[in-house]
Chain A
Amino acid sequence: MLQIKVLGPGCANCKRLEQLARQAVEKLELAADIEKVTEYGQILAYGIMSTPGLVINGEVVSYGRIPTNQEITNWLIAAQSEAGLS
């Protein structure tokens, strides 16, 4: 099960990123838990200031921009296969 977190106080960009992440997960038919993190302390705990941020299995993969569909898909596949190995 992948743990996906979308970091952002809830602006338009954050919502867009969450939507993209959901679409990518659905398309790949992965088992994933998508959580929105809106609390500032928690966002900053990841060491980023510019939202939206994307965290997959505890690792910040992108922040301060909306990544493309392709990028998200690649990260998800990589994280999935990494989890499968261990």
Chain B
Amino acid sequence: MNSEKLILPSPRRSSWQLPALVGLLALLWLLIWQQLQTLADWLTYTLIGLQPDTRLGQSINFFLYDVPKILLLLSGMIFLVTIVRSFFSPERTRAALGGRREGIGNILAAGLGVLTPFCSCSAVPLFIGFVESGIPLGVTFSFLIATPVVNEVALAMLFGLFGWQVAGLYLSTGLVIAVVGGIIIGRLRPERYVEDFVWQIQVGQQGGVTYKPTWDDRIREAGHSTKEIVSKVWPYVVIGIAIGAVIHGYVPEDFLAGIMGSNTWWSVPAAVILGIPLYSNAAGVIPIVYALMEKGAALGTVLAFMMSVVALSLPEVLILKRVIKMRLIVIFIGIVAVAIIFTGYLFNLVIG
């Protein structure tokens, strides 16, 4: 029997059909995007018949405008990010980081942390794989900090609600925190805190297979992860925006200036500490925070809160307990938390 004959060609549509479908969807996306405000206004003021100057009218309008807007942005963003990430892999990242020194290594690791597709359940094998191939622990931590800080769901929501400046600010400070945090951890001789068994694992050589996806594969994969993530976070988005809408319509202006304004020194650390245990609701927290900012909360405080919600999620950090001692986990959380607090103050000082 000839084995080659048995490998059936997979049934694939010809190569122009999927990209054409993507183009069509993108066009439709743009069309809806442009009509969002018109649509929300029509629904609120014409169909439901509310008055634009009433509180209820404002709340409902906020909700009907922001829910479709954020969901559109989320789908577009996740699709694009998945396409970009399909060009990277943890194995390739490890090869790129091998032999890099502190500094350049940390910067590269933070950047690759954003671009490498990575699920939290791969954190432990990735950590061991990095360590075993001789990548310094500080560089490994730059990677591990950057991965969650720059989260595509958070970025899409920041972009949608706050605009590209705030989203860009968030992205760049996230990267800086990853680089600096990794360098500091690297200086603390963290090897002491790595579990002994990690050093004994023999990492094998991966032979033959390198997966070379076609454009069709990339598109299919992107479509799949878009569906998966959006179907997971949409309830949080809707609930978050609903709460945000109530705040938008009913809480008086400047109500929060006293508690969350830039003149209250303790609001930044309080926001960070509050954010650490909150995780799964990152999608729901951002619209609430957006509405709070309208009512006088300072940008630095708000950014610090979001970073701590997204970057420092206890369950994900605790997965690393399998490979590093509690001491290092506490140091890790501490350094990132301090870095975020510092960023918050900085922004309140500069912008607030």
Question: Which residues from chain A sit less than 8 Å from chain B, CB to CB?
Answer: 8-11, 13-14, 40-41, 43-51, 59-65, 68, 70-71, 73-74, 77-78, 81-82, 84-85
Tell me the bound Cα distance from A43 to B152 in angstroms: 28
The B6-63 residues at the A interface (CB cut-off 8 A) are: 6-8, 10-11
A48 and B10 contacting across the interface, CB-CB below 8 Å: no
Question: Measured between alpha carbons, how far is A51 from B118 in the docked complex, in Å?
Answer: 9
Residues of A within 8 Å of B207, CB to CB, are 47, 59-60
User: In the assembly, what is the distance between CA of A20 and CA of B124, in Å?
Assistant: 24
Q: B281 CB to closest chain A CB, in angstroms?
A: 19
CB-CB contacts below 8 Å: B151-207 with A: 197, 201-207
Q: How far is the CA of A10 from the CA of B90 in the complex (A)?
A: 19
| B124–chain A nearest beta-carbon distance, Å | 6
B125 touches A40 (CB 8 A): yes
CA distance A63 to B128 in the complex (A): 16
Ordered by A's residue number, 12 sampled pairs between the chains whose C-beta atoms are within 8 Å are A11-B119, A11-B120, A45-B204, A49-B125, A50-B91, A50-B118, A60-B207, A64-B117, A70-B8, A77-B8, A85-B1, A85-B3
Most buried by B among A9, A10, A49, A62: A49
Residues of A with C-beta under 8 A to B117: 50, 64
A46 to B128, CA, bound (A): 13
**Whole-angstrom distance between the Cβ of B318 and the nearest chain A Cβ:** 14
Given contacts A77-B7, A78-B7, contact A60 B206 (CB under 8 A): yes
Chain B contacts of A60 at CB under 8 A? 206-209
8 Å CB interface, B128-144 against A: 128-130, 132
Determine the chain A residues whose CB is within 8 A of the CB of B125 once the complex forms: 9, 40, 43-44, 48-51
| Category for how many chain B residues contact A | 35 or more
Most chain B C-beta atoms within 10 Å of own C-beta, residue among A50, A68, A74, A85:
A50
Give complex CA distance A26, B132 in Å. Answer: 38
Contacts of B121 in A (CB 8 A): 8-11, 13-14, 51
Q: What is the CB-to-nearest-CB distance from A76 to chain B, in angstroms, rounded to a whole number?
A: 10
Q: A77-B6, A78-B6, A81-B1 are in contact. Are A50 and B205 (CB under 8 A)?
A: no
**Shortest Cβ gap from A36 to chain B (Å):** 14
B204 & A81 in contact (Cβ 8 Å cutoff) = no
Most buried by B among A40, A77, A81, A84: A40
Nearest Cβ on chain A to B22's Cβ, whole angstroms? 19
Residues of B within 8 A of A77 (CB): 6-8
- Does B221 reach chain A (CB closer than 8 Å)? yes
Contact of B203 among A8, A47, A74, A81 (CB under 8 A): A47
Q: Does B264 contact A (CB under 8 A)?
A: no
Verify A82–B124 contact, CB threshold 8 A.
no
Q: Pick the contact of B201: A10, A11, A40, A71 (CB < 8 A).
A: A40
Measured CA separation A13–B207 after assembly (Å): 23
Q: Chain A residue with minimal CB distance to B206?
A: A47
Q: Which residue of A lies closest to B129 (CB)?
A: A49
